[in-house]
Amino acid sequence: MKIKFLIFILTISSSLSFVVAQEKDTIADQTVNVIKPYKPTISDAFKIKDNPKLNDSNAVKKKEIKYNIFSIPVASTFTPAKGKAATVDKVKAVKLYDNYASLGFGTYTTILGEVYLNHELSRDENVGGYFSHHSSQGGIDELLLDDNFSKTKLNAYYSKSLRDFSWKVDGGIDMQTYNWYGLPQDYFGEAEANVINPKHNFTSFNIGGKIDFNDAIVNDASIRFRRFGDDRNSGENIFSANTNFEVAIRDADIDAEVFLEGIAGSFDADYNGIAEVNYGNFMFGVAPSYQLIRDDLTLNLGVRLTYLNDTELSKSKFYFHPNVDASYRLVDELLIAFGGLTGEVIQNSYYQFANENPFVSPTLAIVPTNQQFRAFVGVKGKLTNNVSYNVRGNYGSEKDKALYKSNTAVATPTEDYQYGNSFGVVYDNVTTFSVSGELNVDVNRNFSLGIKGEYFAYDMKDQAQAWNLPDLEASIFVDYQISEQWFAGASGYFVGERKDERIVEILFDTAEVTRVGLDSYFDLNAHVGYKLNDQLSFFAKANNIFNQDYDRWLNFPVQGIQFLAGATYQFDF
């Protein structure tokens, strides 16, 4: 108790002292003297607790809850299937073979055969060859002379690829047999036919090579020699060389072609049998060009310079031809305008004439053609993703253009080709205007269609007509992959009317001249095939389906409808 009382007295004393101190405070109300600035510390701050502790004696205590789980097994018949990744159907890879052989037989005792061989000697060496044969024993109705023919070709090659370049050498032999069967029967009959030997054989041998360079100034170079002749003492040698290179001049790339060609040949006699015919010339030239590309415009600027020396006449001439073309994309790939102006010297040859018209006589005059200019303009593009088109107009001038014309039937023939049953070559200055159109349709990957057509108009200087040149040409092509095994196709060719002249000598100083028009014709062909497996397939063909009895050349009718069937086998060594 004494202690408690003592504490009470001390407490009352402290309170009274505090009151007295307040009354005796001498600090003025208007002045505050700060002896030391206040610096707060972290300990001076405090945070109110979110969940303050409550000491409420009336708080209700939560009742403890206990949970019990009763597990009852249930039988299940569901078994989930294992997941599988989706697969894409793959097309079976097509096996490609390096070699094939084809053989077919048809009407008119026709034989058609081909063999192509290619063998890889090593990683960078290949050797191969090609053989083809097409022959028919003929049998065209109402002919007095044999109309059989035969064409055989054999070629072989060897190629090698190196690090900086690759090269190839090849050679071959061609043999052809035709007959001058186009006897004008209005003037000649069985008596004349019995003394005529219409057979005419051609033989050709060639050898050459080519080399291609990688990342060099010279892009490529080629060389070839050809010997062509017949069984009538005619012969011709052709030598040609060509190279393409690229040079840079003041940051501009100039592409250039350098070419050389020489020809020399002879015929045993001219058409009248008076004198031997010799011809020959040497041609050398260069054709530089520069390509300029600006956005949608592509422009090729160039010239073609040619030096020509006639070795028989000892005459030389220098030719200058333009070599310019351009294209401009008006609407992306949908509409492209193009045009150009070109020209060149065309080297004519007996080999070329005999392949275009195998019924020529071995008495031709061979001179080059000067294509002074050929101007063209047109548009091309796509109508849809599957349809493309090309329309163009052409205008050109050619000096000494070669034209095939029926030979004169002489009054007293001494050669088998002097009965009006052969063709010669005449030359004239010809201006040609033409308009052409082309449409290609790829319906899908299995069906494609192509249509082409061109109309011609000619202006002659000396000749009365553009002999044997048609006024209209058209063609159509269809290819259809019916199924994986079956395939088919068709092609048709339309050739418009042509003009020729029949000249028959009655006496040495008189002749009967008749202008003849050759009718237009449409030749339709079709084929179908069946692929038995990756290696063996069978085919059937039909030619001249409409069985048109038309003349391809004056007095030279073609075979009627023809059928041919055979097989093709692909293989590897």
* 3-state secondary structure at position 370: strand
Spatial separation of the C-alpha atoms in residues 103 and 116, rounded to whole Å: 12
Tell me, what's the pLDDT at 19?
37
Is 44 within a domain?
no
Is 479 within a domain?
yes
Locate 19 and state its tokens. 């009151």
Per this entry, what is the length of the chain?
Answer: 573
Contacts of 450-456 spanning 24+ positions with Cβ under 8 A: 450/475, 450/476, 450/477, 450/478, 451/475, 451/476, 451/477, 452/476, 456/432
Range of the domain at 559: 100-571
Is 361 within a domain?
yes
Spatial separation of the C-alpha atoms in residues 14 and 29, rounded to whole Å: 25
Query: Burial of 78 by CB count in 10 Å (0-12 exposed, 13-18 middle, 19+ buried)?
Result: exposed
Write out the H or E segment, with its range, that includes residue 352.
Answer: helix 350-356
Query: Burial of 498 by CB count in 10 Å (0-12 exposed, 13-18 middle, 19+ buried)?
Result: buried
Spatial separation of the C-alpha atoms in residues 535 and 567, rounded to whole Å: 10
Instruction: Please list the pLDDT of the chain residue by residue as tens digits (573 residues).
Output: 444 444 444 444 444 343 334 444 444 455 555 555 555 554 444 444 445 444 444 444 555 555 555 445 555 555 566 656 656 556 566 678 999 999 999 999 999 999 999 999 999 999 999 999 999 999 999 999 999 999 999 999 999 999 999 999 999 999 999 999 999 999 999 999 999 999 999 999 999 999 999 988 899 999 999 999 999 999 999 999 999 998 877 767 889 999 999 999 999 999 988 899 999 999 999 999 999 988 899 999 999 999 999 999 899 999 999 999 999 999 988 999 999 999 999 999 999 999 999 999 999 999 999 999 999 999 999 999 899 999 999 999 999 999 999 999 998 999 999 999 999 999 999 999 999 999 999 988 899 999 999 999 999 999 999 999 999 999 999 999 999 999 999 999 999 999 999 999 987 678 899 999 999 999 999 999 999 999 999 999 999 999 999 999 999 999 999 999 999 999 998
Pairing of strands 125-136, 149-161: antiparallel
| Sole residue written with tokens 């592409």 | 255
Locate 538 and state its tokens. 């069978």
83: Cβ–Cβ under 8 A, 6 or more apart, which residues? Answer: none
Is 92 within a domain?
no
Tell me, what's the pLDDT at 21?
40
Spatial separation of the C-alpha atoms in residues 435 and 377, rounded to whole Å: 10
Locate 307 and state its tokens. 């030096």
**DSSP label of 42:** G
Our count of domains for the chain comes to: 1
- Whether the CB-CB separation of 567 and 540 falls below 8 Å is answered with no
Q: Burial code of 555-573, b = ≥16 C-beta within 10 A, e = fewer?
A: bbbbbbebebebebebeee
Tell me, what's the pLDDT at 445?
86
* Residue ranges with strand state E in 311-446: 315-331, 335-346, 369-382, 387-406, 423-444
Is 77 within a domain?
no
564: Cβ–Cβ under 8 A, 6 or more apart, which residues? Answer: 104, 105, 106, 107, 110, 112, 540, 541, 542, 543
Is 200 within a domain?
yes
Spatial separation of the C-alpha atoms in residues 491 and 481, rounded to whole Å: 15
Angle at 404 between CA 402 and CA 405, to 5 degrees: 130
**What is the distance of C-alpha 244 from the center of its chain?**
20
Report the predicted TM-score, pTM, of the whole model to 2 decimal places. Answer: 0.82
| Sole residue written with tokens 């049953």 | 421
Spatial separation of the C-alpha atoms in residues 529 and 113, rounded to whole Å: 16
Is 161 within a domain?
yes
Is 483 within a domain?
yes
CATH number of domain containing 412: 2.40.170.20
